[in-house]
Amino acid sequence: MTQIFRRCPAVALLSGGLDSCVALALAVARHGGQTAVLHVGYGQRTAPREHEAAHAIADHYGLETRRDVDLTWLRDLGGSSLTDASLPVPDLDRDCGPGAGVPSTYVPFRNATLLAAAVAWAEVLGAGEVYCGAHAADSAYPDTQPAFFSAFNELVRQGTAVSTIIEVQAPLLQLDKAAIVRRGQELDAPLHLTWSCYQRQDRPCRRCHSCHLRAQGFAAAGITDPSGAHGSEPS
């Protein structure tokens, strides 16, 4: 993405996925075209496709202040099936359902690392808010829970100057996937440009947990997935 530096009121973390797209739509609704976009590559399996989606979404909104950050050392550390091709990505709800514990797709301390980069850039730009699309309802990840964001915002307060006020906003935190889909439609977010699959870049696998949640969300919301490619998971 183009690297342009100017004062901006907000930085939005944009992965290219459904949730981050809706969170960006909320940021744009509040701050308009002055919203800055941060996309992070961390060596995930679908990094090029996610980058393409994030770029298309930012183009849709005409957002000029953008930055790509390379955190591929998270892949090098290992420990996640999202970044380690030798580990299988779980199909559907296997290893991801209630009581299954933290799924193998969890990237150790990823959200704290991504948010740290976003807060650092927000400080540079003079932004007062950082938006991200995390939500707790459908997630077993420890870094998508309300307590994490409360603690992280306290960390931001303690780790920046007294005169610096930056708040991490997770506006989807209490919503399930269906509610996120409905919110995106209400905002006229470009959901057709988003990419959710954990495994493939040519077409969605329709079997991974992320594809499954996306299909469930659109179905429960009573809305047809505008991407066309995702569809529903196989029986």
Whole-angstrom distance, CA of residue 168 vs CA of residue 11: 9
Report the range of poorest mean pLDDT among 13-22, 87-96, 117-126. Answer: 87-96
Tens-place pLDDT, residues 195-208 = 999 999 999 999 99
Between the CA atoms of 170, 22, 108 and 44, what dihedral angle is there, to the nearest 10 degrees? -160
What does the block give as tokens for 97?
Answer: 């359902």
Query: Under 8 Å CB-to-CB from 68, ≥6 apart: which residues?
Result: 1, 3, 39, 40, 41, 51
Query: What was the pLDDT predicted at 143?
Result: 97
Tell me if 71 is assigned to some domain.
Answer: yes
CATH number of the CATH domain containing 105: 3.40.50.620
Tell me if 228 is assigned to some domain.
Answer: no
Query: What was the pLDDT predicted at 99?
Result: 58
Query: What was the pLDDT predicted at 231?
Result: 53
- Which class for 188: exposed (0-12), middle (13-18), buried (19 or more C-beta within 10 A)? exposed
Tell me if 2 is assigned to some domain.
Answer: no
Q: How confident is the model at residue 228 (pLDDT cuts 50, 70, 90)?
A: confident
Q: How confident is the model at residue 91 (pLDDT cuts 50, 70, 90)?
A: confident
Q: How confident is the model at residue 233 (pLDDT cuts 50, 70, 90)?
A: very low
Query: What was the pLDDT predicted at 94?
Result: 52
- Which class for 62: exposed (0-12), middle (13-18), buried (19 or more C-beta within 10 A)? exposed
Tell me if 119 is assigned to some domain.
Answer: yes
Phi, psi values for residue 59, rounded to 5°: -60, -40
Tens-place pLDDT, residues 145-175 = 999 999 999 999 999 999 999 999 999 999 9
| Mean pLDDT value of segment 206-223 | 95
What does the block give as tokens for 93?
Answer: 């709800």
> Which amino acid would we find at residue 135?
H
Percent of the residues in the chain that have a pLDDT greater than 70, as a whole number: 91
Whole-angstrom distance, CA of residue 198 vs CA of residue 46: 6
Which residue range forms the structural domain that includes residue 176? 10-221
Tell me if 227 is assigned to some domain.
Answer: no
Does residue 235 surpass a pLDDT of 50? Answer: no
- Give the chain's domain count: 1
| Mean pLDDT value of segment 184-200 | 97
Q: What is the DSSP letter of 88?
A: P
Tell me if 226 is assigned to some domain.
Answer: no
Whole-angstrom distance, CA of residue 122 vs CA of residue 129: 7
Indicate if the alpha-carbon torsion angle 93, 94, 99, 104 is positive or negative: negative
Does residue 74 surpass a pLDDT of 80? Answer: yes
